[in-house]
C-alpha cells in the first residue's frame, strides 16, 4: 500500500486517483514523463501510481530524469514500486528508451527567472532541442497522445484593457530582451509541436500553465509565491522588488496535474489549452497582503524596496494577464482549490518544516 510522508500531498494524490474517467482512459497504458523530479512531473507520477491502487488501472509509468540522486530525494522508497521505472538521460540528447510507450508528458524545462537572464542560450536550446527529441521519440513509438507543458508567458504583455486571455489571444514580446529567451522559446516549441502534428501526425497537445504551486513545493523554491510563504512561516516582512501591480492567475498543483491528463486524453491534437483557476487572479501586492495575514498571531508587514539591479532578478514587465480556462473546462476539468487554500495547503505540507 502506498504511503507518503506528506499527508497533505497524499490527500491530493488520492483525490486525483479517484477520477474514474481518467483512470478508465489510462487503463493498461504506459506513460512516459520528462521532468520527472519537478513539481508537476513528480505529482503526475505519484498520482498515476495511486490510480493503480485505487482503481486497479494497471498503468505503468516511466520517469525521465538526469540525476539519480534527485530521483532518490523526490521519490524515496517509491523508486522500488513495481509499476515505476526511470530512464536517465539529458533532454538535449535523443531519447533512447527502448520500451513501449502509449502516452508522453513533456515537462522538462528551466523554471527560474534568474536563469533565463543569466543563461538565455541554454534556456532556448533546452526548449527547442529537448522538445524536438521528445517529439521524435513520440513519432517513433507511435504514441497515442502527448502533452507539452507550456506557459502563460507565451502571451507576452497583453494589450491594455484586455480582461481575459483566450488561447487565440497574444500580446507583445521583445525578441531583443534576453528575458524573452523563455517566452520566445516556448512560442517556438508550440509551433514545433503543431508542425509535428501536421506533418507527421504526432497527436501532441499543449497545456499553457499559469503559475502553479501547492503541496510538495520545495522550501528553497525561488519563485515569488514561495518567498511570500517563507516570510509568513518565519515571521519576516514581505519585501517587494517591484510595485506589485502585475496581475496573474494561478493554479493548484493537483488541479494542474488533473488538467494535464484531461488535455492528454481528451484534448484535440495540435491545439492549446489554458490551465488556471480563473477565480485566483490577483496582483502581486494583493497576494503579498493575503499571505501576510495567514497567521494572525504572527502577522508580517509588506513593503516595497526596488533594488538598483532589478533587471538581474529576471522579472517580467508589469502587466495584467488573466487566463481564460473555459476551453479546458469544456473537456470536463474544473479547478477545486482557491488561492488562500493553495497557500495554506502548501505551508501545511512539508514546506512548513523546510522539507518541501
Q: Which domain holds residue 30?
A: 7-214+250-279+323-337
Q: At residue 311, does pLDDT exceed 90?
A: no
* CATH number (domain holding residue 270): 3.40.50.720
Q: At residue 39, does pLDDT exceed 70?
A: yes
What is the pLDDT averaged over residues 323-328? Answer: 98
Give the alpha-carbon dihedral of 210, 216, 220, 223, to 10 degrees.
Answer: 10
Angle between helices 224-234 and 284-292 (to 10 degrees): 20
Q: How far apart are CA 33 and CA 272, in angstroms?
A: 19
Q: At residue 90, does pLDDT exceed 50?
A: yes
Q: At residue 309, does pLDDT exceed 70?
A: no
Task: Give the Cβ contact number of residue 68 at 10 Å.
Answer: 11
Tell me what the pLDDT averaged over the chain comes to: 94
Q: How far apart are CA 113 and CA 182, in angstroms?
A: 9
Question: Residue 204 domain-assigned?
Answer: yes
DSSP 73-106: HHHGGGGG-TTEEEEE--TTS-----S--SEEEE
Q: What pLDDT does residue 196 have?
A: 98
Question: Residue 91 domain-assigned?
Answer: yes
Q: How far apart are CA 309 and CA 92, in angstroms?
A: 32
What is the pLDDT averaged over residues 275-299? Answer: 95
Question: Residue 47 domain-assigned?
Answer: yes
Question: Residue 316 domain-assigned?
Answer: no
The string over 92-122, giving b where at least 16 C-beta atoms fall within 10 Å of a residue's C-beta and e elsewhere, is eeebebeeebbbbbbbbbbbebebbbebbee
Question: Residue 73 domain-assigned?
Answer: yes
What is the pLDDT averaged over residues 137-159? Answer: 96
Q: What pLDDT does residue 121 have?
A: 96
What is the pLDDT averaged over residues 285-307? Answer: 92
Residue with cell 476539468: 333
Q: What pLDDT does residue 353 have?
A: 60
pLDDT band at 310 (very low <50, low <70, confident <90, very high): low
SS3 271: coil
C-beta separation of 101 from 79 below 8 A: no
According to DSSP, the β-strands at 277-283 and 247-252 are antiparallel
C-beta separation of 93 from 62 below 8 A: no
Q: At residue 356, does pLDDT exceed 50?
A: no
Q: How far apart are CA 35 and CA 106, in angstroms?
A: 7
User: Among 40-54, 70-84, 292-306, which is the least confidently predicted range?
Assistant: 292-306
Q: What pLDDT does residue 355 have?
A: 46
Nearest to 81 by CA among 123, 115, 46, 119: 46
Total domains, the chain: 1
Q: How far apart are CA 233 and CA 235, in angstroms?
A: 6
Q: How far apart are CA 193 and CA 180, in angstroms?
A: 19
Question: Residue 242 domain-assigned?
Answer: no
Highest mean pLDDT of the ranges 36-50, 113-127, 216-230: 36-50
pLDDT band at 1 (very low <50, low <70, confident <90, very high): confident
Taking the whole predicted model, whether its pTM rises above 0.85 is answered as: yes
What's the Rg (C-alpha) of the chain? 20
Question: Residue 327 domain-assigned?
Answer: yes
76 sits in the region (left: phi over 0; alpha: psi -120 to 50; else beta) called left
pLDDT tens-digit series, residues 182-228: 999 999 999 999 999 999 999 999 999 999 999 999 999 888 999 99
C-beta separation of 52 from 59 below 8 A: yes
Nearest to 76 by CA among 134, 3, 153, 154: 3
Question: Residue 159 domain-assigned?
Answer: yes
Amino acid at each position: 500500500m502506498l504511503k507518503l510522508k506528506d499527508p497533505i500531498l497524499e490527500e491530493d494524490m488520492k483525490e486525483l486517483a479517484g477520477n474514474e474517467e481518467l483512470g478508465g482512459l489510462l487503463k493498461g497504458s504506459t506513460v512516459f514523463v520528462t521532468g520527472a523530479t519537478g513539481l508537476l512531473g513528480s505529482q503526475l507520477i505519484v498520482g498515476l501510481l495511486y490510480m493503480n491502487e485505487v482503481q486497479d488501472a494497471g498503468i505503468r509509468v516511466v520517469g525521465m530524469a538526469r540525476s539519480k540522486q534527485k530521483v532518490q530525494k523526490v521519490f524515496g522508497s517509491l523508486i522500488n514500486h513495481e509499476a515505476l521505472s526511470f530512464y536517465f538521460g539529458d533532454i538535449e540528447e535523443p531519447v533512447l528508451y527502448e520500451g513501449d510507450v502509449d502516452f508522453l508528458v513533456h515537462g522538462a524545462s528551466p523554471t527560474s527567472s534568474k536563469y533565463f537572464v543569466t543563461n538565455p542560450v541554454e534556456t532556448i536550446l533546452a526548449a527547442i532541442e529537448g522538445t524536438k527529441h521528445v517529439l521524435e521519440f513520440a513519432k517513433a513509438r507511435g504514441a497515442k497522445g502527448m502533452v507539452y507543458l507550456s506557459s502563460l508567458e507565451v502571451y507576452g504583455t497583453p494589450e491594455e484593457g484586455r480582461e481575459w486571455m483566450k488561447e487565440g489571444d497574444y500580446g507583445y514580446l521583445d525578441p531583443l530582451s534576453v528575458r524573452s529567451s523563455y517566452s520566445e522559446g516556448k512560442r517556438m516549441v508550440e509551433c514545433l509541436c503543431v508542425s509535428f502534428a501536421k506533418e507527421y501526425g504526432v497527436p501532441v497537445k499543449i497545456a499553457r500553465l499559469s503559475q502553479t504551486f501547492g503541496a510538495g513545493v520545495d522550501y528553497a523554491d525561488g519563485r515569488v509565491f514561495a518567498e511570500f510563504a517563507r516570510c509568513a512561516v518565519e515571521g519576516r516582512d514581505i519585501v517587494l522588488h517591484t510595485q506589485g501591480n502585475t496581475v496573474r492567475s494561478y493554479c493548484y498543483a493537483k488541479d494542474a496535474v488533473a488538467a494535464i491528463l484531461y488535455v492528454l486524453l481528451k484534448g484535440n491534437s495540435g491545439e492549446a489549452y489554458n490551465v488556471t483557476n480563473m477565480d485566483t487572479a490577483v496582483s502581486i501586492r494583493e497576494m503579498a497582503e493575503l499571505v501576510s495575514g495567514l497567521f494572525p498571531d504572527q502577522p508580517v508587514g509588506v513593503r516595497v524596496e526596488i533594488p538598483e539591479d532589478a533587471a538581474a532578478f529576471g522579472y517580467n514587465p508589469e502587466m495584467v494577464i488573466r487566463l481564460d480556462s473555459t476551453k479546458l473546462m469544456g473537456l470536463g476539468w474544473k479547478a477545486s482549490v482557491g488561492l488562500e487554500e493553495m497557500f495554506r495547503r502548501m505551508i501545511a505540507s512539508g514546506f512548513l518544516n523546510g522539507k518541501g
